[in-house]
């Protein structure tokens, strides 16, 4: 099985998986920001979209490529694959075909890239589970509400304490166990609280308390992600991220304080993820920064991850 080659893959590429069975949590937006950040840090990045129905991650990258060509600007692009899900009448045959397509994508990039970023569908599928069992870093974006928290845990309606794990958390527990059995390595699970309100509220505190309580039981880290900002939605049609050189030519309008704040919170998230950087990648980023300095063209983001 593909999972049996995890140890070999880990020696050549760090696997980052974006996963959550509830849609609309910001998986694709977070995935592209991670990929672009790593590219700007000199890493060789490949991306895989396992949601062949929605293809939000693929469309985001396609938009980025198209806008770079149309606006004649330079935007970092990963090596990208979209794995089409089989939809035949035989479950066994479908899984075999899914396995073959995913295996082909992994085989094409595992030895030539430093990081593989995988975006998974918001549903329990064979490929989604397989990707989770391969993750070195599992990133679970979660909207800051009890409705979304329900995918992780059940709560007592009186005091909002955690009474048990939900379906997705149980699936992740099993995927991490499988990973340990294969190569003894641990998956760093990071729950990212997205769409945070900028105001302190009772809901924000109670959700935070529930996540912290569950983190102790499940062994994940909790970090703050993206606030509720219109700019993240505006980035999608042009494939932009908060880390790009956002000027009037790139955006089509003058950047404002919201763009600056978005960049700051993205950088904070990336630092909190603690993703490893290859030494060759660091040297490439340093050389690029030096070249920009010589050309007197300031590099906007050259050292995102400490």
Backbone angles phi, psi at 66, to 5 degrees: -65, -40
Give percent above pLDDT 90 in the chain.
Answer: 44
Does residue 129 sit within a domain?
yes
Query: Would you place residue 86 in the very low, low, confident or very high pLDDT band (cuts 50, 70, 90)?
Result: confident
Query: Would you place residue 306 in the very low, low, confident or very high pLDDT band (cuts 50, 70, 90)?
Result: very low
Q: What's the rounded mean pLDDT across residues 21-49?
A: 93
Higher-scoring residue by pLDDT: 281, 94: 94
Residue 280: pLDDT over 80? no
Residue 217: pLDDT over 70? yes
Poorest-pLDDT segment among 6-20, 211-225, 241-255:
6-20
Does residue 224 sit within a domain?
yes
Residue 301: pLDDT over 50? no
Does residue 69 sit within a domain?
yes
CA proximity to 94, closest of 130, 65, 61: 130
Higher-scoring residue by pLDDT: 287, 255: 255
| Six token digits for residue 206 | 């109670």
Per-residue pLDDT, 281: 61
Per-residue pLDDT, 117: 97
Does residue 300 sit within a domain?
no
Split into its structural domains, the chain has a count of: 1
Per-residue pLDDT, 27: 93
| Count helices and strands in the chain by DSSP H and E runs | 12, 9
Per-residue pLDDT, 241: 95
CA proximity to 305, closest of 16, 82, 19: 16
Does residue 66 sit within a domain?
yes
CATH number at residue 287: 3.40.50.300
Give the position of tokens 């919201």: 258
Query: Would you place residue 296 in the very low, low, confident or very high pLDDT band (cuts 50, 70, 90)?
Result: very low
Poorest-pLDDT segment among 157-171, 183-197, 274-288:
274-288
The answer to whether residues 190 and 139 touch, using CB atoms and an 8 Å cutoff, is: yes
CA proximity to 36, closest of 256, 263, 259: 263
Does residue 185 sit within a domain?
yes
Query: Would you place residue 252 in the very low, low, confident or very high pLDDT band (cuts 50, 70, 90)?
Result: confident
CA dihedral sign, ordered 266, 78, 25, 153: negative
Q: What is the mean pLDDT of the chain?
A: 84
Residue 125: pLDDT over 60? yes
CA-CA distance, 177 to 81, in Å (whole number)? 27
Query: Would you place residue 299 in the very low, low, confident or very high pLDDT band (cuts 50, 70, 90)?
Result: very low
Domain that holds residue 236: 2-294
Per-residue pLDDT, 11: 52
Per-residue pLDDT, 85: 80
Does residue 306 sit within a domain?
no
Q: What's the rounded mean pLDDT across residues 45-59?
A: 94
Residue 113: pLDDT over 60? yes
Per-residue pLDDT, 25: 84
Burial bucket for residue 213 (CB in 10 Å: 0-12, 13-18, 19+): middle
CA-CA distance, 36 to 181, in Å (whole number)? 32
Per-residue pLDDT, 284: 62
Strands 162-165 and 153-155: antiparallel
Buried b (16+ CB within 10 A) or exposed e, 155-174: beeeebebeebbebbebbee
Does residue 88 sit within a domain?
yes
Higher-scoring residue by pLDDT: 301, 40: 40
């Amino acid at each position: 099985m593909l999972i049996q080659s995890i140890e070999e893959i880990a020696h050549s590429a760090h696997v980052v998986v974006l996963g959550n069975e509830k849609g609309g949590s910001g998986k694709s937006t977070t995935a592209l920001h991670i990929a672009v950040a790593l590219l700007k840090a000199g890493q060789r990045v490949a991306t895989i979209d396992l949601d062949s129905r929605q293809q939000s991650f693929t469309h985001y990258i396609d938009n980025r490529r198209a806008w770079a060509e149309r606006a004649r600007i330079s935007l970092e692009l990963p090596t990208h694959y979209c794995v089409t899900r089989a939809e035949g009448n035989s479950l066994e045959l479908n899984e075999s075909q899914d396995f073959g397509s995913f295996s082909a994508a992994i085989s094409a990039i595992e030895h030539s890239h430093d990081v593989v970023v995988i975006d998974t569908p918001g549903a329990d599928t064979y490929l989604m589970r397989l990707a989770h069992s391969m993750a070195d870093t599992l990133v679970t974006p979660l909207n800051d509400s009890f409705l979304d928290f329900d995918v992780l845990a059940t709560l007592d309606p009186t005091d909002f304490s955690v009474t048990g794990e939900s379906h997705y958390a149980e699936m992740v527990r099993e995927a991490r166990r499988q990973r340990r059995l294969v190569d003894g390595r641990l998956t760093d699970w990071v729950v990212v609280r997205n769409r945070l309100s900028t105001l302190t509220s009772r809901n924000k505190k109670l959700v935070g308390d529930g996540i912290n309580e569950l983190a102790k039981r499940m062994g994940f880290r909790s970090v703050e992600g993206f606030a509720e900002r219109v700019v993240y939605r505006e980035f999608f049609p042009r494939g932009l991220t908060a880390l790009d050189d956002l000027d009037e030519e790139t955006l089509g309008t003058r950047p404002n304080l919201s763009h600056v704040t978005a960049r700051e919170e993205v950088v904070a998230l990336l630092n909190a993820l603690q993703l490893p950087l290859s030494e060759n990648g660091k040297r490439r980023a340093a050389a690029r920064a030096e070249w920009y300095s010589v050309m007197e063209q300031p590099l906007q983001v050259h050292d995102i991850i400490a």
